[in-house]
Amino acid sequence: MAKELTKIQRQILDHLIDQKAARGIQPTLAEIADYFGYKNRSTVQQHLQALEKKGFIKKNPKLSRAIELTLEDKFFVPRPVLGEVAAGNPLTIYPDAIDTIELPTIARMPKDSFLLRVKGDSLKDAYIFSGDIVIVNPNLEPKNGQIVVAVLDDAAVVKKFYKKKNEIELVSENPEFKPIVIDKKYPSFKLIGIVVGVYRSMSKKAG
Amino acid sequence: MAKELTKIQRQILDHLIDQKAARGIQPTLAEIADYFGYKNRSTVQQHLQALEKKGFIKKNPKLSRAIELTLEDKFFVPRPVLGEVAAGNPLTIYPDAIDTIELPTIARMPKDSFLLRVKGDSLKDAYIFSGDIVIVNPNLEPKNGQIVVAVLDDAAVVKKFYKKKNEIELVSENPEFKPIVIDKKYPSFKLIGIVVGVYRSMSKKAG
DNA sequence: TTAAATACCATACATTTGTATGGTAAAATA
DNA sequence: TATTTTACCATACAAATGTATGGTATTTAA
């Protein structure tokens, strides 16, 4: 099943996943060809045949826009988890995806948002726990009191955000952790995004 | 914008929403005609024109399966929240949808799953809180230790499920609430489904 | 009562779409 | 070396698809 994909086959598969997530519609062969700059559909046709042969997709013959992704279970779209963030003390963020979570698409997932797995308990009073997946939107302006993800000295944290005159305060709900105060000009501070949702799958917790 | 729809127009619009949620693909005119038993596409064609005129959909001319739903914001489809369930003491379930949550259009909840908003704190040790949305799948066999939704004497509860010889035990994680023990033959007990996920939107929690 | 909107049917037609077939060149493999 | 796989191109064609046009009967609004 998990045969290896060539670079281009992988790109096309990724494009299918992206399109499904962003448009809710699978592209036609012509649209894929267009996207990759191919002069006709038959090139795409061949790549899809390869993908189907290797078990990654399933085509619904004769139907338009009917490419099924078999890597997902019937209802979930796999999305990469980009790293872990410490809700307590800062934790190093990983350069590549550390995992893949099957996000039920009930979860609000704006196109440019991404996922992080929370580690640590400092936000437990905000009902976010170690192991939870937070959905992070990088394109929103943070308001006071919102939970944000930030990078501080190459480590990522999940904290509540408060803007003061000349500084930014990142506080945990958990009193065990003291607020972090950063001067606004401090160079190695970077706001990553706002936590717009939390998701937790119960499937593993069977007894 | 919000002109009134006829009964059939409403049915077709609902069908479009359903299809998008269930298949992730919009149907073609022929498929819609088939579903409603029409003998040809032009009937559907007319209904869609009416829907477009009234502002509920937007058609992408010449493209197949390219019906846009304008009632949704770019990525979300409203789905009904069917009621509230008490995580603590039983709470009456409402006959109609009490609220609407915005699901993304890529939403592929299991077709027959539904959403419930949790009220009460008895599951707080299982990290489920008042206000959270639980995703309930009615078609799974519960295993011991899984969190289930059940109706007991016309009230719904969210509890951990344990099967004993002749009885079923529903326990809260919160020690404040004592386990409920039900004889297996007790008539007014009905298992509704298994909680497969928890989702919480942070969007309202701005400060 | 007259006009308009609704709800269906039928036919026709240009594109779109998936797919089958065949070809070339380069890279990977045996 | 010979062979297979990969990555593209071109052409052809039947079926699917959206859409335009015209028709009938019923209901609703003016």
Partner-chain contact A104 B109, CB within 8 Å: yes
CA–CA gap between residue A103 and residue B173 (Å, rounded): 26
The number of CA neighbours under 13 Å toward the Cβ of A169 is 12
Which residues in chain B touch residue A24, judged by CB atoms under 8 angstroms apart? Answer: 20, 24-26, 105-106
- Which residue in chain A has the smallest CA separation from B66? A25
Confidence at residue B123, expressed as pLDDT on a 0 to 100 scale? 60
What does residue A66 show for φ and ψ, rounded to 5 degrees?
-120, 45
Q: Residue range B10-18: average pLDDT? A: 78
Q: Lowest mean pLDDT: which of A100-104, B20-24, B161-165?
A: A100-104
Alpha-carbon distances, residue A202 vs A103, A157, B118, B152, B207 (angstroms): 12, 25, 15, 23, 30
Q: Kindly state whether residues A52 and A88 are assigned to the same domain.
A: no
Active site residues of B: 122, 159
Task: Say if A135 falls within a structural domain.
Answer: yes
Confidence of residue B87 (pLDDT cuts 50, 70, 90): very low
The number of residues making up chain A comes to 207
Q: Kindly state whether residues B44 and B85 are assigned to the same domain.
A: no
Of the candidates A101, A19, A105, A77, the residue with the CA atom closest to the CA atom of residue B79:
A105
The number of CA neighbours under 13 Å toward the Cβ of B156 is 20
Domain containing residue B42: CATH number: 1.10.10.10
CA–CA gap between residue A26 and residue A88 (Å, rounded): 41
CA–CA gap between residue A100 and residue A77 (Å, rounded): 10
pLDDT in tens, B90-124: 333 343 333 444 333 223 344 455 566 666 665 66
Q: Kindly state whether residues A84 and A47 are assigned to the same domain.
A: no
Q: Final residue of a domain: which of A17, A46, A69?
A: A69
Q: Kindly state whether residues B123 and B62 are assigned to the same domain.
A: no
pLDDT reading at A44 higher than 90? yes
Q: Which helix (H) or strand (E) holds B201?
A: strand B189-201
CA distance to partner chain A, nearest, from residue B77 (Å): 9
DSSP secondary structure, A62-122, as one string = T-TT-EEESSS-TTEEEEEEEEEEESSS-EEPPSS--EEEEEETTS---TT-EEEEEESST
Q: Kindly state whether residues A103 and A28 are assigned to the same domain.
A: no
Q: Kindly state whether residues B59 and B131 are assigned to the same domain.
A: no
A146 contact B CB<8A:
yes
Q: Kindly state whether residues B127 and B190 are assigned to the same domain.
A: yes
Q: Kindly state whether residues A60 and A130 are assigned to the same domain.
A: no
- Which residue in chain A has the smallest CA separation from B114? A106
Q: Kindly state whether residues A112 and A63 are assigned to the same domain.
A: no
Q: Final residue of a domain: which of A41, A69, A97?
A: A69
The DSSP letter of residue A164 is -
Q: Kindly state whether residues A91 and A48 are assigned to the same domain.
A: no
Q: Which nucleotide is nearest to B60 (CA to C1')?
A: D18
pLDDT in tens, A51-93: 888 777 888 888 888 887 764 332 233 344 444 444 443 333 3
DSSP secondary structure, B137-181, as one string = ETTS---TT-EEEEEETTEEEEEEEEE-SSEEEEE-SSTTSPPEE
Question: Is there contact between A11 and strand D, defined as CB under 7 Å from any strand atom?
Answer: no
Report the number of distinct structural domains present in chain A: 2
Q: Residue range B43-52: average pLDDT? A: 90
Active site residue: A122, A164, A165, A190, which one?
A122
A147 contact B CB<8A:
yes
pLDDT in tens, B169-179: 888 766 777 77
Q: Final residue of a domain: which of A17, A51, A69?
A: A69
Q: Is A122 a catalytic residue?
A: yes
Partner-chain contact B203 A195, CB within 8 Å: no
Q: Kindly state whether residues A56 and A81 are assigned to the same domain.
A: no
Secondary structure tally for chain A: helices H, strands E: 3, 12
Q: Kindly state whether residues A62 and A156 are assigned to the same domain.
A: no
Confidence of residue A115 (pLDDT cuts 50, 70, 90): low
Of all residues in chain B, the percent with pLDDT exceeding 90 is 10
Q: Residue range B180-199: average pLDDT? A: 73
CB of A28 closer than 8 Å to CB of A60: no
Domain containing residue A147: CATH number: 2.10.109.10
* Of residues B178 and A44, more confidently modeled: A44
Q: Which nucleotide is nearest to B47 (CA to C1')?
A: C7
pLDDT in tens, A153-180: 655 677 888 888 888 888 876 667 777 8
B69 contact A CB<8A:
no
Which residues in chain A touch residue B25, judged by CB atoms under 8 angstroms apart? Answer: 24-26, 65-66
Confidence of residue A37 (pLDDT cuts 50, 70, 90): very high
CA–CA gap between residue A48 and residue A26 (Å, rounded): 13
Q: Which domain holds residue B84?
A: 76-205
